[in-house]
Amino acid sequence: MRRWIAAVLLATAGQAPAQDTGPVHDAPYVPSPVSTVDEMLRLAEVGPADVVYDLGAGDGRVVIAAAAKFGARGVGVEIDARLVAQARARAASAGVADRVRFLQQDLFRTDLSEATVVSLYLSPNFNLKLRPALLALAPGTRVVSHSSGMGDWQPDRRTAIRKDVLLWIVPADVAGRWRATLGTGPQARKLELEIAQHYQDVSASAVLDGTAALVWEARLRGDRLSFVIVEHLGTASESGLYFEGRVAGSAIEGSVARGVGSRRAVLGWRAHR
């Protein structure tokens, strides 16, 4: 379902935005070039463990390529019965009918909880309407779009193979105050971390063993958080603490490396919000 023309007509006519309308049945389907489909799936790092949902699947080329070229399973969602029938025939011809299925239904009423990758070729208005449902997916879910963006949710990566291809990785919720322990036993160290978040963009401040510490290179990719604290600033003992952790709800668990090269030592760390 490619709704560009319908969205433009609504906007120029001063009518309600696309997200306030019901399903659009008469907008023409515009297929993505084969090389653009390949790039969407490559950029999303699709593999055999993935379930790819294509919203507005048209003739099914995205999920068929995901199955045939990347070994994934796929679900295409399309409201046009003629295109659904065509997609099922194409899947059978490609020998992947056992790994893909096509649903004739409204994409906005589709349960996406099974998806590890979501593929889109929709108007910007449709993307914005879908954005809350996409952000509610499991952290680490990849969302890849042919051409259209997501408003102020900036993509994690962008490429151009015939057309623009944009990738988002659903971020974990890490905003707030965290209390962490580095190591175990009587030598364990205490860390307080305050994180500010705007989608995948994060910044932080910290107190390590009762002393304020600057946080550098804070990064969030799905459920993976990393950052660096430099302790003993300006002394011969100055050293970086390189944190990596996996976010699971209100907990983070991972490793922290102190120093580099032959001076590198690794401890575990755990945090709770």
CATH code assigned at 180: 2.40.128.120
Q: Mean per-residue pLDDT for 97-103?
A: 98
Are 128 and 40 in a shared domain? yes
| pLDDT tens digits along 206-249 | 999 999 999 999 999 999 999 999 998 889 889 999 999 999 99
pTM of the complete model: 0.86
35: left (phi over 0), alpha (psi -120 to 50) or beta: alpha
| pLDDT tens digits along 26-44 | 446 788 999 999 999 999 9
Are 239 and 107 in a shared domain? no
3-class DSSP assignment, residue 156: coil
Are 86 and 211 in a shared domain? no
Are 163 and 248 in a shared domain? no
Are 117 and 213 in a shared domain? no
- Dist CA 205 CA 222 (whole Å): 21
Q: What is the pLDDT of residue 9?
A: 34
Is 32 exposed, middle or buried, given 0-12, 13-18 or 19+ CB atoms closer than 10 A?
Answer: buried
Residue 203, domain extent: 176-272
Structural domain total, the chain = 2
pLDDT at 12 > cutoff 50: no
Are 186 and 162 in a shared domain? no
| pLDDT tens digits along 18-29 | 333 344 444 467
- Which tokens sit at 18? 């696309």
Q: What is the pLDDT of residue 28?
A: 62
Are 109 and 202 in a shared domain? no
